Amino acid sequence: MWRRRTGGGDAREAAPPVEAAGPQERPALTIDALGRKCPIPIIMLAERINEVPMRDVVAVLADDPAAFTDIPAWCRLKSHEHVASYELPQGGWSIHVRRNY
């Protein structure tokens, strides 16, 4: 059986990093998916990501723990960039995605 090399260490995937500080780049679009369960935040992102220019950032506001890991996984699957995830003061995250195509 073969295993993909991950750069050493444990082969299990780690959770995406969370940054406590505010975003470094202002999003071109913010999608409010607070209170919605996955996969709705991903569906909302997929429907609207093409509204922003190439290389711009979309922020998805979500409080479902599944969205915290599923949106970065969707980015890898669709070749977009997961910029960062920021904790929101009221709970949940602002998950920033850069449109690559």
Q: What residues are annotated to the active site?
A: 38
Max CA separation in the chain (angstroms): 45
β-sheet with 29-32: strand ranges across: 18-19, 81-87, 93-98, 57-62, 29-32
